[in-house]
Amino acid sequence: MKGRLRAAMIGGGPGSFIGGVHRIAARMDGEYDLVAGAFSSKPEKCLETARELGISEDRAYGSWKELIEKELDRPENERVQVIMITTPNHVHAAPTIAALEAGYHVVLDKPLCTSMEEAHAIAAAVEKASGLFCLTHTYTGYPMVKEAKHQIASGALGKVRKIYVEYPQGWLSTFLESEGQTQAAWRTDPSKSGKVGAMGDIGTHAFNLAEYVSGETITEVCAQLNIVVEGRALDDDGAVMFKTASGATGVLMATQVAAGEENNLKVRVFGEKGGLCWEQKDNNTLTMMPLDAPVQVLRTGGPGTSEFSLANHRVPPGHPEGYLEAFANLYKNFAAHVKAQAAGEKQDPNLDYPGIEDGVRGMKFIEAIVENNAGNEKYTAL
């Protein structure tokens, strides 16, 4: 399969943040053409976004159901191939399952959904589907996150012993949801976000990053979820001490009330032979800390990096790449797999992207910490 993939977006209308990010990510490498959308449940808003994006009005659909159905009526060489879903969490499961069942490839914003039941239903749909499925755990798209994964997988640290992962934000330090801030409103609303607030929004990112980088499987959690800002319905802060299947331990911290903090997701892993550290603030750097040897600084595209990270960057070392490039890597790699599938070719393992397993793991994590936090037992199995 040559050329650009035809894509449609569900969600991402006026006021959406993440919709615009998905569009930039999809555009960056020239692998997608956004040709249709159900951007909003309000028709005039949907049309407004379609016009801004230069999308033909007859492909600006009034609902995601309409989009899924009507596109099937088009000839195969015009029809949308990939559906990007960027709605609030409670509108993830239904369109995802419907799109997969209709034969589309799906890119879904994280977290997967709002309950284990939904998670299993999506997983079942993915299994049956002819199309592929990507869940946008963006942070695994960073070249130096991939390099970290590679270093650990190839034994640079020896057996993993300790994992620290943290995701501090400060933007919910005040009762922002009462002031009409759209992003704050739905993210703190149980009917739209699910059982958890900060832990679903960013805790799952931290959880995913920890497992992705370390290669470990978290099996037991001891959690503290807090509602710090008065009046809020869901946790805006929390910490988790955990154990892994191999006997390593770790700490996960996620908060949205670290006033003054931006978004500095950070992961550190230590093993028998050394440690490593990556943080979003300096995302093109991977700090390798061997036991009894000087610290080494790996850089995106720089000497000493692996084919894995080299396959996931664009410009020479020293030209900073960032969040949008990491996001674009997910889209770029997903496109490569979609095309390889169509061509019956083998998929390049260096062009990986997060999928259904990541989503299910995240939901299990949420279930376990909610249960643990509510009770008085020290640890809860995942």
Please give the residues from 245 up to 304 whose contact with a second copy meets the rule CB under 8 A.
249, 251, 253, 255, 257-264, 268, 270-275, 280-284, 288-299, 302-304
Token pair recorded at residue 201: 């929004």
| Complex with a second copy: residue 212 or 270, whichever CB lies closer | 270
**Candidate segments 6-14, 36-44, 88-96, 310-318, binder of a second copy by CB under 8 A:** 310-318
**Candidate segments 7-15, 118-126, 159-167, 195-203, binder of a second copy by CB under 8 A:** 159-167
CB neighbour list of residue 338: distance below 8 Å, 6 or more residues apart? 1, 5, 81, 82, 105, 132
Q: How far is CA 236 from CA 171, 253, 257, 309, in A?
A: 10, 11, 7, 33
Question: By CB under 8 A, what part of segment 335-354 binds a second copy?
Answer: none
| Complex with a second copy: residue 26 or 83, whichever CB lies closer | 26
**Candidate segments 37-45, 320-328, 330-338, 342-350, binder of a second copy by CB under 8 A:** 320-328
Q: Using CB under 8 A, which of 2, 57, 180, 231 touches a second copy?
A: 2
169 lies in the binding site for a second copy (CB under 8 A) = yes
How far is residue 372's CA from residue 381's CA, in Å, rounded to a whole number? 9
Contact present, 360 and 204 (Cβ < 8 Å): no
Q: Using CB under 8 A, which of 115, 174, 219, 350 touches a second copy?
A: 174
User: Is residue 318 helix, strand or coil?
Assistant: coil
Question: By CB under 8 A, what part of segment 77-136 binds a second copy?
Answer: none
170 lies in the binding site for a second copy (CB under 8 A) = yes
Q: Using CB under 8 A, which of 117, 190, 320, 381 touches a second copy?
A: 320
Task: Write down the least CB distance from residue 21 to a second copy, Å.
Answer: 6
Q: Using CB under 8 A, which of 116, 324, 340, 351 touches a second copy?
A: 324
How far is residue 14's CA from residue 253's CA, in Å, rounded to a whole number? 32
Question: By CB under 8 A, what part of segment 56-75 binds a second copy?
Answer: none
How far is residue 289's CA from residue 281's CA, in Å, rounded to a whole number? 19
Number of residues that bind a second copy (CB under 8 A): 87
Tokens 């330090």 belong to 173
216 lies in the binding site for a second copy (CB under 8 A) = no
Q: What residue type is assigned to position 30 of the chain? A: G
Please return the burial class of 369, using the count of CB atoms within 10 Å of its CB with bins 0-12, 13-18 and 19+.
buried
| Complex with a second copy: residue 118 or 187, whichever CB lies closer | 187
Task: Write down the least CB distance from residue 53 to a second copy, Å.
Answer: 7
At residue 266, φ and ψ (nearest 5 deg) are -145, 140
156 lies in the binding site for a second copy (CB under 8 A) = no
**Candidate segments 7-15, 90-98, 186-194, 315-323, binder of a second copy by CB under 8 A:** 315-323
How far is residue 150's CA from residue 142's CA, in Å, rounded to a whole number? 12
H or E element in which residue 274 lies: strand 274-279
DSSP annotation string for 73-139: HS-TTTS--EEEE-S-GGGSHHHHHHHHHTT-EEEEESS--SSHHHHHHHHHHHHH-SS-EEEE-GG
**Candidate segments 81-89, 208-216, 308-316, 340-348, binder of a second copy by CB under 8 A:** 308-316
188 lies in the binding site for a second copy (CB under 8 A) = no
| Complex with a second copy: residue 124 or 315, whichever CB lies closer | 315
How far is residue 108's CA from residue 95's CA, in Å, rounded to a whole number? 10
374 lies in the binding site for a second copy (CB under 8 A) = no
Question: By CB under 8 A, what part of segment 19-58 binds a second copy?
Answer: 20-21, 23-24, 27-30, 51, 53-54
Contact present, 113 and 119 (Cβ < 8 Å): yes
Q: Using CB under 8 A, which of 121, 323, 339, 351 touches a second copy?
A: 323
